Structure 1
Amino acid sequence: MRCTDRRKRFFFGSFLLIGMFLIAGCAKKESIIATYEKSEYNRDLYRADLYAENLCVAVENIELPGYTTDQQLHAAGLFGVNQEQVLYAQNLHNKLYPASTTKVLTAYVALKYGNLSDIVTVSRRAVTFDVDASVCGLQENDQITMEALLYGLLLHSGNDNAIAIAEHISGSVEAFVELMNEEARKLGATNTHFTNPHGLHEADHYTTAYDLYLIFNECMKNETFLTMISQSSYAATVQNPTSGTRQLTWTPSHFYAQGLAIPPQNAVIVGGKTGTEDLAGSCLILLEKDLSGNPYISIVMGAPDKTVLYNDMTSLISAIPAS
C-alpha cells in the first residue's frame, strides 16, 4: 500500500512538473504547483517564494520578437518591471561566474545594514590588489564616508571600496560574505553563493542571471541606490592622517555613460553594474526606461568581449515593445 501511494505521488508530481514548464510570466500569489514543488521536491528554484507579488518568473527560455538569440552569450534576460513579465530569457537559471556584478548584492547589504554617514577607516587588506584590478584609488588609513564608498563601488566598481565596506559593516570580509549569502537566500536567490564582496574569480563564487534580477529588482526599491547608479560622476573627499585631504572623482564603468556605446533609441539608460573577468566574460545588468517611463531590467552575462556585450545589450533593449 505504501509503495502504491509513492507511485501515485510520483505520477501526480510528474504531471504537475510538466505543467510548470509550460508557465512563463509573473504570478500574483504562490501557486499550488510551487507549494507542491517546495514540499515534495525541495528544488532550489521553487524553495524560495518565487511566486510572491511583483516578481517575474520564467522557467524556460523565452524568445523576444525583434531580438535574435546570441549563442556566444552565457545568459541573458529582459524583465518588464511594471508588467511583472519576463520578455526574454536565455539560460536564466544556469550557474555562472558574475565578476563585478557581485557588487549589486554588496551594495544591497550595505544599504540595509550600514549608515551612509559613517566614517570608514580603510585597512591594508582593502588596498591590497593586483595592479590591473579595478580600484577607486583608496590608501591605507584613508577616512571616507560609507556613502562615498558606495558611489565608488557602484559607479567605478572599486574592489578596494568593496573590502572597506565589508570590513566596516561586519568586522571582517568573511562575516560580511556570510551576510551576503543569507540576504541572497531571503530574496529567493537560492542559486547564488558568493565568497567575496567584489567578484574576483573564485571557483565557488557564482550566481545566475535570474538571481541577479531578483537582487537588482530589490535594490531598485531603494531611492539611494537609484540615485547612485544614475550619476554621471561623483567626487569623494578623502582624509588621511599622513597625506592630508584629497578628492577622488569616479565615473560609471559602463560604456553607455562613457559614450563608447551608442544607446538604444527607444529607451533611456538609468544605470547599472558591469562585470569583467576572464572566466566570467563581460557582464552587464542595467535599469532602463522606455520613452513612456516604464522601467526594465536587462542582463547580459558571459559575452566574449565588450563589442559583443554592448551590441547584444543594445539589440535586447531595442526589442522592448512600444508601450
Structure 2
Amino acid sequence: MVRKVKRENPGILIFIIFLLIAVIAFSVHKFIITQEKQHIFKIETDSTVSISPDKLTSPNAILVRLKDDAILMQKNSQEKIYPASLTKIMTAIVAIENLPNLNEEIELTNYTFQGLYKADASMTGFQPGENVRAIDLLYGALLPSGAESCIGLADQIAGSEQGFVKMMNQKAADIGMDNTHFENATGLHNKNHYTTVKDMAILLSYALQNDTFREIFTSSRHSTQPTNKHPGGMTFYSTMFQELSNQSIIDGEILDQLVKVNRN
C-alpha cells in the first residue's frame, strides 16, 4: 500500500535533492539539500568549484568539501532559519544511536498521534495500536517524513517527546551545532525551533558517517514488514527522490557546474 503524505507546514516547502546517489557507495559524496529558500550544498571531490553566491536565489547557502570540511562557498550561513522536516535528520541519528535492537517492535498508541493531524503534520501512514519495527519507523521518519514515526521512536527511547528533544539538543551541542535549538522531534514550526545552514551541514556530515543512517537516507523506497494493522506491509517513497527531477528550483548554471565537478 502506498500512502500519500502531507508536509508539516504548507507554507514551508522542503526539497531534499540527492544527486548521483550511486556514487556514494564509492565514497564520492555529492548532494544538494534545499529547504524552500535555504540551501545546503556539500561536495567531496579533489576538484575545485567556482560558484558565486550571487548565482543563488536562496538567501542562505553553504558549500562544504566533505574530505576536509573546507567551506568553499557560503551565503548567510549562520543566519537563523527554521529547519522544518530537516529536523528529522537529528531525530533519526539520535534514535539510531540509542536503539539497541532495530528489529524490536514499537507500539504506536493513540497518544503517539495526539495533535499531529490537527497540525497537518506529514504522516507515514501507520495507525494507532500498530506494532512497527524500529527500523521501519526510521525509514518512515526519513523517507516520507512521517511525524508519527518520529514520536513513536521518541517515546520508546526517552519516554516522551520532551525527553527525547533534550537528547537532540545535547547531541547538537556535542557535535558543535552552536546556533541550533530544537523544541520537537518532528519539525513542526516553533519560534524557538531553529538552526543555521552551517549547523545543518555539521549535522549531515556527522549523520552520514553512520552506516544505518546513510543506508536509509539514500534509499528511494522502503517496504515494511507485515504488521497487525497492515498485514501486507506498506511501501513508501523518499520525498527527496521525488523532488530530484524538479531542477527548476536550482540555478541551471550552478547545477551544470556541480555535475561537471563530479565528472572530473
TM-score when scaled to structure 2?
0.73
What is the CA-CA distance between 1:247 and the residue it aligns to?
Answer: 1.3
Task: Specify the code of the residue in structure 2 equivalent to 1:248.
Answer: M
Residue 197 of structure 1 corresponds to 185
1:76 aligns with 2:61: yes
Residue 159 of structure 1 corresponds to 147
Task: Specify the code of the residue in structure 1 equivalent to 2:96.
Answer: L
Task: Specify the code of the residue in structure 1 equivalent to 2:176.
Answer: G
Contact kept? 1:152, 1:161, Cα under 8 Å: yes
What is the CA-CA distance between 1:127 and the residue it aligns to?
Answer: 2.5
CA RMSD in angstroms, aligned pairs only? 2.6
Residue 282 of structure 1 corresponds to none
Task: Provide Cα deviations, 1:126-160, integer angstroms capped at 9, x if missing partner.
Answer: 22423743110111111011111111111111111
What is the CA-CA distance between 1:71 and the residue it aligns to?
Answer: 6.2
Cα distance in 1 for partners of 2:254, 2:162 equals 34
What is the CA-CA distance between 1:65 and the residue it aligns to?
Answer: 2.2
Task: Report the CA distance shift for 1:201/1:244 in structure 2 as closer, same or farther (over 3 A).
Answer: closer
What is the CA-CA distance between 1:320 and the residue it aligns to?
Answer: 4.2
1:89 aligns with 2:74: yes
Instruction: Give runs of aligned pairs for residues 206-285 of structure 1, distance below 5 A.
Output: 206-240=194-228, 243=229, 245-254=231-240, 256-257=241-242, 260-262=245-247
Runs of 4+ in 1 over 4 A off after TM superposition: 256-259, 309-313, 318-323
Residue 173 of structure 2 corresponds to 185
Cα distance in 1 for partners of 2:201, 2:169 equals 15
Where does the alignment leave 5 or more consecutive residues of structure 2 unmatched?
1-43
Residue 117 of structure 2 corresponds to 130
Task: Specify the code of the residue in structure 2 equivalent to 1:97.
Answer: Y
Cα distance in 2 for partners of 1:319, 1:66 equals 12
1:308 aligns with 2:249: yes
Q: Which residue, 253, 258, 263 being the options, matches 1:317?
A: 258
Task: Specify the code of the residue in structure 2 equivalent to 1:317.
Answer: L
Task: Report the CA distance shift for 1:229/1:74 in structure 2 as closer, same or farther (over 3 A).
Answer: same
Cα distance in 2 for partners of 1:229, 1:65 equals 28
Task: Report the CA distance shift for 1:95/1:141 in structure 2 as closer, same or farther (over 3 A).
Answer: same
Say which structure is richer in strand. 1
Equivalent residues, number:
214
Residue 270 of structure 1 corresponds to none
TM-score when scaled to structure 1?
0.60
Task: Provide Cα deviations, 1:75-105, integer angstroms capped at 9, x if missing partner.
Answer: 1111111143112111111111000000010
1:150 aligns with 2:138: yes
Cα distance in 2 for partners of 1:102, 1:312 equals 29
What is the CA-CA distance between 1:317 and the residue it aligns to?
Answer: 3.4
Cα distance in 1 for partners of 2:163, 2:253 equals 37
Cα distance in 1 for partners of 2:51, 2:92 equals 34
Residue 172 of structure 1 corresponds to 160
Larger radius of gyration: 1
Where does the alignment leave 5 or more consecutive residues of structure 1 unmatched?
1-55, 57-63, 263-306
Residue 92 of structure 2 corresponds to 107
What SS is found at the alignment partner of 1:140? coil
Task: Specify the code of the residue in structure 1 equivalent to 2:125.
Answer: G
Cα distance in 2 for partners of 1:312, 1:204 equals 36
Task: Specify the code of the residue in structure 2 equivalent to 1:73.
Answer: S
Task: Report the CA distance shift for 1:71/1:80 in structure 2 as closer, same or farther (over 3 A).
Answer: closer
Task: Specify the code of the residue in structure 2 equivalent to 1:130.
Answer: Y
Cα distance in 2 for partners of 1:310, 1:121 equals 44
Task: Provide Cα deviations, 1:260-287, integer angstroms capped at 9, x if missing partner.
Answer: 325xxxxxxxxxxxxxxxxxxxxxxxxx
Contact kept? 2:180, 2:196, Cα under 8 Å: yes
Cα distance in 2 for partners of 1:219, 1:259 equals 21
Task: Report the CA distance shift for 1:160/1:185 in structure 2 as closer, same or farther (over 3 A).
Answer: same
What is the CA-CA distance between 1:318 and the residue it aligns to?
Answer: 4.2
What is the CA-CA distance between 1:66 and the residue it aligns to?
Answer: 4.0
Cα distance in 1 for partners of 2:74, 2:244 equals 28
